[in-house]
Amino acid sequence: MKNLPNFLLGLLVVVSAASCSRTQAPPVSVPEVATVTVAPQSILLTTELPGRTSPYRIAEIRPQVSGLIQKRLFTEGSDVQAGQELYQIDPTPFEAAYAAAKAALGRAEASLPAIRSRTDRLREALTDNAVSQQDFDDADAALKQVEADIQYYKAAAETARINLGYAHIVSPISGRIGTSTVTDGAIVTAYQPIPLATIQQLDPIYVDVLQSTNELLRLERLMKDGLLSRDEAGANEVQLILGDGTKYPLAGTLQFRDVSVDPSTASVTLRAVFPNPDGVLLPGMFVRAVIKEGVDGHAILLPQQTVSRDPKGNPVALVVNADGKVEQRQLVIDRAIGAQWLISSGLNPGDRVIAEGSQRVRPGASVRVVPFDDSPEHPGSAAQQAPKSK
C-alpha cells in the first residue's frame, strides 16, 4: 500500500465507499394508506325546496249594508275570534225598517180571520144557491190575496231583520286582524271593493314550495325502476328551515301536489300545512322545506375527503384492488349528504377507497392498507372535516 501511487490509493477509497453504500441502503418501503370499504346501506333521501308561507284562511271584511260606522270594536294587529263584533254601523234606519215590516205583517195577519170566515160562509151559502158564484169567487180571491200578503210581509220582515243584524259586522273566522281602512264616522257601502280590514288565520299555516318537472319525472322514474321506495310510515312529513338557517321545531304534513305546471317556471306547487301555535311563521316568509323523496336501499356513501377532481373537474377516487395496487375510478355523484357524497356509479360493494395517504401514491403503485379511523378524535376524520351548515 505504501508503494502505491497516490491516485490509485484515492481510487480504492472511493470504490470501497461506494461498495459499502450499496450494501447498507435500506429496502424501498411500501406506502401505507387508510381505506374505506364500500358497503351499500339503506338511507332516506330528502330534498330542500324553496317556498313561502301563506295564511291557512283569509277573510276580507266588507259591509253587507250601507251606512255610517259608529265605532270600531277591535285593536289593530290583535287576534280576533270567529263571531267577534268588529264594527258597528248605525242601526237606526234598519231598526225602523224592521219595525215597519213587522207592522205591515201584523196588519195583514189581523185581517185574515175575518176574510177567511166570510169566505167559509159564502162557500156554505153557495151550496144552497143563496149567493152567486161571483160573490164567492171575489171572497176567495180576497182570502188568497191576504194570505199572499202575509207571506210577502214575512219575507220583508225577515229581510229587515237580517239587514239589522248586518249593522253589526262580525269576524267570520278566528285569526289575526290587520289595519283598519276606515275610522269612526266613515260612510261605507254594501259590498264595496275596498275591505274594511283583513283577517288571516296563522295557526295552522300553509307552506307552498316549487318542484321542477324534471325533478318530478326523475323521481317517478326511480320509483318505477325500483331504485327508490316509498317511506310509508312518514312519507308526508315535512321539515322546515327558516330564512336564517334555523330549523323550525314542528313538523308539517304534505297535503297535495298541484296537477298544473307553471309555464313560466316549469314547476309544480307542493302545499304543506304546519302548526304555528307561537306565531313564528308569518305570511310571505321565505323558507326551505325538506321533502322526503323515498328510501334508497342500496346507497353508497363516501366521506367527502375520499373524492378529488381530475384536471377536467370530474370526480375521481383512488381504489386499492385485490393485488394491493392503486386504481383510479371516475365517479358520478348524486348529492352531498352531510359530510359524505352519495355515489350514483363508479364503485362496487367491497371496493377499498383510499381515505388517507392518497397524496403519497399514484395509480399503479403498490400500497399497504390499514382501516380508516373516522372517530371524532382522529385528526383526519370525516366528522371533523364536515362542512358547516350555511
Q: What DSSP string describes 343-355?
A: EEES--TT-EEEE
Residue 107 main-chain phi, psi, to 5 deg: -65, -40
pTM for this entry? 0.68
Q: Is the pLDDT of residue 193 over 70?
A: yes
| Range from 103-112, 176-185, 291-300, 346-355 carrying the lowest mean pLDDT | 291-300
CATH of domain 92-166: 1.10.287
Q: What is the pLDDT of residues 114-162, one digit of tens each?
A: 888 888 887 878 787 777 888 878 888 988 888 898 999 999 999 999 9
Q: Which helix (H) or strand (E) holds 149?
A: helix 133-166
CA distances from 313 to 309, 316, 340, 347 (A): 5, 9, 18, 18
| The CATH fold of domain 63-90+168-194 | OB fold (Dihydrolipoamide Acetyltransferase, E2P) (2.40.50)
For the chain, what's the residue count?
390
The CB density around residue 330, as the number of other CB atoms within 10 Å, is 12
pLDDT at 13: 46
Choose the CATH number for 34-54+202-385 among 1.20.950.20, 2.40.30.170, 1.20.1630.10, 1.10.15.40: 2.40.30.170
Task: Average the pLDDT over 63-69 and give the result.
Answer: 95
Q: Is the pLDDT of residue 256 over 60?
A: yes
pLDDT at 377: 53
The pLDDT-based confidence of 382 (bands split at 50, 70, 90) is very low
Q: What is the dihedral of CA 316, 319, 321, 325, to 10 degrees?
A: 100
Grid cell for residue 254: 304534505
- Is the pLDDT higher at 50 or at 390? 50
- Is the pLDDT higher at 376 or at 326? 326
pLDDT at 339: 86
| Range from 7-21, 51-65, 103-117 carrying the lowest mean pLDDT | 7-21
Grid cell for residue 353: 377507497
Start and end residues for every CATH 1.10.287 domain found in the chain: 92-166
pLDDT at 235: 64
CA nearest to 234, candidates 248, 217, 254: 254
Percentage of the chain surpassing pLDDT 70? 85
Grid cell for residue 227: 331504485
Start and end residues for every CATH 2.40.50.100 domain found in the chain: 63-90+168-194
Residue 3 main-chain phi, psi, to 5 deg: -85, -5
Mapping DSSP to helix (H, G, I), strand (E, B) and coil, where does residue 165 land? helix
End-to-end, the C-alpha distance of the chain in Å comes to 80
Query: Residue 209 gets which letter from DSSP?
Result: E
| Range from 34-38, 42-46, 200-204 carrying the lowest mean pLDDT | 42-46
What's the rounded Cα separation, in Å, for the pair 191 and 345? 63
